[in-house]
Structure 1
Amino acid sequence: MPSFHFAPRLAAIAAALALCAGAHAQDKPVALKLSSWVPAQHALNPALQAWADDIKKASNGTITSTLFPSEQLGKAFDHYDMARDGIADVSYVNPGYQPGRFPIFAASSLPFMVSNAKAGSAAIDAWYRQYAAKEMKDVHFCFAFAHDPGALHAKKKVLLPTDIKGMKIRPATSTIGQMVTTLGGTNVQSSAPEARDMLERGVAEAITFPWGSLILFGIDKVVKYHMDVPLYVTPFVWVMNKDKYDGMSTAQKKVIDDHCTSEWAEKVGSAWADFEIAGRAKIAAEPGHEVYKLTPDQLQAWRVAVQPVELQWAEGVKKSGGDPKQVLDSFKQTLVKYKSAL
């Protein structure tokens, strides 16, 4: 009977399926320490937790994670080195906190580039993958993403770039810091969790920040004027300790690889973006706050004024051995492809 001929083949298929199903079951358990420096209630943390939960499911429970928010494992400035050194297994990094260290990545924080953080996160990730292995060689790169475009928030109304002269401003990234210096202002460095204190003490009188986080960090209590312009995005990376990744089984590495993609960059960026977008309306409704637009002429004045920042950025890329024109052209083309160019 024909069924006898099929029996060995069916047995072989069944054995192969059983082998695949058992691949994860035979893997050694891996416990990951995930580090996030934003407060526990921040919208980013549930998105990172969802990433970890999906990895647990895809690995049949062999890869588990614990998320440590609020700088529990170390300061915001140190998160790249924490992943490198294994203090955290996976960490959330603002590369712009370390001026000059990641000159290529800094292209994504140039002013007036990115229109939104949803498709924009996928675009930044897709673009940077060609450079990550070299520029961030100390870690295993997972993905890059951004917060929704941030604006300038100040204790006084700022309309023109000339208004920046003499002001003390806390910039979001080193690139925005260059913009402040170019316009005659003074940079006051601080991580996001320290920013409100700086403003309250008068050490700074303005800040570049996204809208929802302005409320979360209590910064809306000390700045009342808000320029409603998508000035910049702060791009971030989610990176992993190399030894931790290398120590995983082939099947576990594939699970991680499947979760280190542009699609996941967009998922994480989108969850945060919705939170930031909602913040604009909340601030506009707060008594004593003024959210204002710029005229076309004022906006053009800003675009012209920040052009030297791009030139400074290009010099930094040249010093690192890169080709700034190739980098920037690639970035702009990717933003257009993902419908997220400003």
Structure 2
Amino acid sequence: MTSRIIALGAAVTLALPLAAHAQDVTLRLSHWVPAGIAPASKGIEPWAKAVEDASGGSIAIQLFPAQQLGKAPDHYDMAKQGIVDMAWVNPGYTAGRFPIYALTEVPFMVDDSVQGAKAIHEWYLENGAEAEMSDVKVCFIHPHAPGALHSKEAITSPDQIKGKNIRPAHATMARFVSLLGGGPVQVPAPEVREALSRGTAEAVTFPWGAMYDFKLTGEVPQHLDMPFYMSAQVLVMNLASYDKLSDENKAVIDSHCTPEWSAKVAQGWHDDDMAARDKLIADGEQTLNEPSEADVAAWREASQPLIDEWKESVVAKGGDADAILDAYVKSLEANDAKY
């Protein structure tokens, strides 16, 4: 009897490491948009819940929205330095730091954010991530639907930008505003309404849903109805936080850091943006202005210097700009996302 008890105890002891192998862990994820608005509720939050569910509860993701742990432009370094385990980053908030990725900011290139997210993820992993973001793990690409130019007065052609102060979405759009003779007013998304209400800015490049997320319809009731630009955020993870995970939990993270998941995450934000656009159309106090074919051609021509400058910045870092651009276009075309 005693020997049977000893044997049973040994078996239980041997089983303990296996039971503990699941490794319960809490990961802190920081982002800079208010909780409950589309980027968070339709993208970040469902992704975090999917990770938790796939882990069987061994991974918990603690969300910190609305710049609670740091300003929006600081989020890449917050993840890199381990201040947080994961961070939702707008690379365009740090001009010049990610020259290859900045190609995603060039206007009039993408007309489908869902397939565009997949295309950018595939392209960047092959053509830029190792050179620019090797100190973090890239998890997913998270663009809004192609955004628009929203203004106090109607704007349909590039020559109307001259003399106007405009809040740009990112560094490339800021350069575009400058090229057209406007003045870029660079403030994070949560501070845009204040800039508009004070008259510091007269227009903003923003997703359609942001008109309601940030309560801007009273400030900028005129909307240029064309796929004007895109801003593709990136969820990144601290490498040490990833390395500490068990093999099982690494597999869960890996399975949720794919081009397919980038498309899934982008879908909710896209749908919200399109619903917001429909709501603006139905609102008698809002005006959507469709540019003429001549206007579209003028916008495209005006943006060409951005491509030239992008090439120069990539070459300066030792990159093959023509090959990288060609790969980007091919990835967009292969995913039916090219404008």
* TM norm structure 1: 0.91
User: Residue type of the partner of 2:173?
Assistant: I
Q: Among 96, 99, 115, which residue is 1:100 paired with?
A: 96
CA distance, structure 2, for counterparts of residue 23 and residue 199 of structure 1? 58
User: Residue type of the partner of 2:25?
Assistant: V
Q: Which residue of 1 aligns with 2:12?
A: none
Q: Among 328, 332, 336, which residue is 2:333 paired with?
A: 336
CA distance, structure 1, for counterparts of residue 76 and residue 44 of structure 2? 17
Partner of 2:217, secondary structure, is helix
Q: Which residue of 1 aligns with 2:9?
A: none
CA distance, structure 1, for counterparts of residue 250 and residue 144 of structure 2? 28
Unaligned runs of 5+ in 1: 1-18
CA distance, structure 1, for counterparts of residue 122 and residue 113 of structure 2? 14
Partner of 2:209, secondary structure, is helix
**CA deviation vs aligned residue, 1:191-236 (integer Å, no higher than 9, x gap):** 1100010111111111100111111101212012110010111011
CA distance, structure 2, for counterparts of residue 192 and residue 24 of structure 1? 45
Partner of 2:224, secondary structure, is strand
2:211 paired with 1:234: no
Q: Among 274, 280, 283, which residue is 2:280 paired with?
A: 283
Q: Among 100, 104, 111, which residue is 2:107 paired with?
A: 111
Say how many residue pairs are matched. Answer: 325
Percent of aligned positions that are identical: 44
2:178/2:184 contact within 8 Å kept: yes
1:58/1:255 contact within 8 Å kept: yes
Q: Which residue of 2 aligns with 1:5?
A: none
Q: Which residue of 2 aligns with 1:80?
A: 76
Q: Which residue of 2 aligns with 1:214?
A: 211
Please, which moves more after superposition, 52-61 or 248-257? 52-61
**CA deviation vs aligned residue, 1:18-41 (integer Å, no higher than 9, x gap):** x9xx96751322101111211112
Q: 1:176 to 1:26 in 2, by over 3 A?
A: same
CA distance, structure 2, for counterparts of residue 96 and residue 165 of structure 1? 23
CA distance, structure 2, for counterparts of residue 237 and residue 96 of structure 1? 11
CA distance, structure 2, for counterparts of residue 55 and residue 284 of structure 1? 37
Q: 1:24 to 1:113 in 2, by over 3 A?
A: farther
Match runs of 1:119-198 below 5 Å:
119-130=115-126, 131-198=128-195
**CA deviation vs aligned residue, 1:60-98 (integer Å, no higher than 9, x gap):** 221111111111111111111111122221111000011
> How far does residue 113 in structure 1 lie from its aligned partner after superposition?
0.5
Q: 1:304 to 1:87 in 2, by over 3 A?
A: same
Please, which moves more after superposition, 103-112 or 42-51? 42-51
Q: Which residue of 1 aligns with 2:246?
A: 249
1:25/1:60 contact within 8 Å kept: no
CA distance, structure 2, for counterparts of residue 137 and residue 102 of structure 1? 11
2:310 paired with 1:313: yes
* TM norm structure 2: 0.92
CA RMSD of aligned residues (A): 1.9
Q: 1:24 to 1:108 in 2, by over 3 A?
A: farther
CA distance, structure 2, for counterparts of residue 253 and residue 214 of structure 1? 38
Partner of 1:211, secondary structure, is coil
CA distance, structure 2, for counterparts of residue 123 and residue 192 of structure 1? 25
Partner of 1:245, secondary structure, is helix
CA distance, structure 1, for counterparts of residue 19 and residue 86 of structure 2? 21
**CA deviation vs aligned residue, 1:278-305 (integer Å, no higher than 9, x gap):** 1111122223221110111111011111
Q: 1:23 to 1:240 in 2, by over 3 A?
A: farther
User: Residue type of the partner of 2:143?
Assistant: A
> How far does residue 328 in structure 1 lie from its aligned partner after superposition?
0.9
CA distance, structure 1, for counterparts of residue 45 and residue 142 of structure 2? 16
CA distance, structure 2, for counterparts of residue 241 and residue 75 of structure 1? 18
Unaligned runs of 5+ in 2: 1-14
Partner of 1:303, secondary structure, is helix
Partner of 1:73, secondary structure, is coil
CA distance, structure 1, for counterparts of residue 150 and residue 107 of structure 2? 15
Partner of 2:196, secondary structure, is helix
1:44/1:268 contact within 8 Å kept: no
Partner of 1:166, secondary structure, is coil
Q: Among 14, 28, 39, which residue is 2:23 paired with?
A: 28
Match runs of 1:27-66 below 5 Å:
27-46=22-41, 47-66=43-62
CA distance, structure 2, for counterparts of residue 175 and residue 28 of structure 1? 43
